[in-house]
């Protein structure tokens, strides 16, 4: 699935509208207690929740494909992408608490704070251990989580610039798209068709396509 300019513009505008609505709505009800991320994901879109978790995608890592300076959080129950226009400089392993409104961005469930004041840095924690899954099992159940897949490259790296690059991996259970945002600066020049690779990344969705999004160079390893 190509990330077309028109589709991404719509994605950006929808996120902006949600953020403005949350900011300007009179008497908007804010969450008063922290909700597990897994539970928050089951609530209707538009719900306002407060979550707390560990950063699994650093601020702005995916800016070339999301048009925002967002980040991802994960707790023991699940994970979610937080869409924000301000770069808060959150890094992997940081702990954060966020109040925002649940929204959908081309199939990907996201949390939209009304502004940087709704994000509280809570120190540092242990890194999140990625969940090992089959390539054919990256789907709605894994969305928002940090996952790791292994398999052979079945479709070579191709350009989807200016947003990023993509290639496909299959362990025999089904092919999965690996989407690498250009803003991560990950070097893919050494990858070739047929190589066996291990890929760690954010389990995401764009339109009808599920994908794994690596964050740093070490997230892609060529195996013997």
Domain parsing of the chain, residue ranges: 5-124, 131-223
Task: Give residue-wise pLDDT tens across range 61-116.
Answer: 999 999 999 999 999 999 999 999 999 999 999 999 999 999 999 999 999 999 99
Contacts of 192 (CB under 8 A, 6+ apart): 153, 156
pTM (two decimals): 0.89
Distance separating alpha carbons of residues 220 and 157, to the nearest angstrom: 13
Distance separating alpha carbons of residues 26 and 162, to the nearest angstrom: 39
The SS3 call for residue 21 is helix
Distance separating alpha carbons of residues 103 and 101, to the nearest angstrom: 6
Task: Give residue-wise pLDDT tens across range 150-175.
Answer: 999 999 999 999 999 999 999 999 99
Distance separating alpha carbons of residues 222 and 9, to the nearest angstrom: 35
Place of tokens 């390539």: 135
What CATH code would you report for 131-223? 2.40.50.140
* pLDDT above 70: residue 28: no
5-124 matches 131-223 in fold: yes
Q: What is the pLDDT of residue 9?
A: 54
- In sign, the C-alpha dihedral spanning 3, 222, 137, 216 is negative
- What is the pLDDT of the chain when averaged over all its residues? 91
**Class of domain 5-124 as given by CATH:** mainly beta
User: Could you tell me if 97 and 82 are in contact, meaning their C-beta atoms sit under 8 angstroms apart?
Assistant: no
CA neighbours closer than 13 Å in the CB half-sphere of residue 58 = 12
């Amino acid at each position: 699935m190509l990330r077309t300019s028109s589709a991404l513009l719509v994605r950006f505008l929808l996120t902006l509208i949600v953020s403005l609505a949350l900011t300007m709505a009179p008497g908007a009800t804010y969450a008063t207690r922290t909700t597990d991320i897994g539970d928050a994901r089951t609530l209707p879109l538009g719900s306002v929740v407060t979550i707390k978790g560990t950063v699994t995608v650093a601020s702005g890592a995916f800016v070339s494909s999301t048009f925002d300076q967002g980040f991802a959080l994960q707790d023991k129950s699940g994970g979610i992408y937080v869409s924000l226009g301000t770069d808060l400089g959150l890094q992997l392993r940081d702990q954060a608490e966020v109040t925002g409104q649940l929204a959908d961005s081309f199939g990907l469930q996201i949390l939209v704070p009304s502004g940087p004041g709704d994000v509280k840095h809570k120190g540092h924690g242990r890194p999140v251990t990625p969940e090992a899954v089959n390539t054919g099992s990256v789907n709605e159940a894994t969305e928002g989580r940090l996952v790791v897949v292994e398999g052979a490259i079945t479709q070579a790296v191709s350009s989807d610039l200016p947003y990023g690059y993509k290639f496909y991996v299959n362990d025999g259970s089904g092919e999965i798209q690996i989407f690498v945002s250009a803003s991560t600066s990950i070097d893919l020049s050494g990858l070739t068709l047929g190589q066996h690779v291990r890929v760690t990344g954010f389990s995401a969705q764009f339109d009808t396509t599920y994908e794994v999004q690596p964050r740093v160079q070490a997230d892609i390893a060529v195996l013997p």
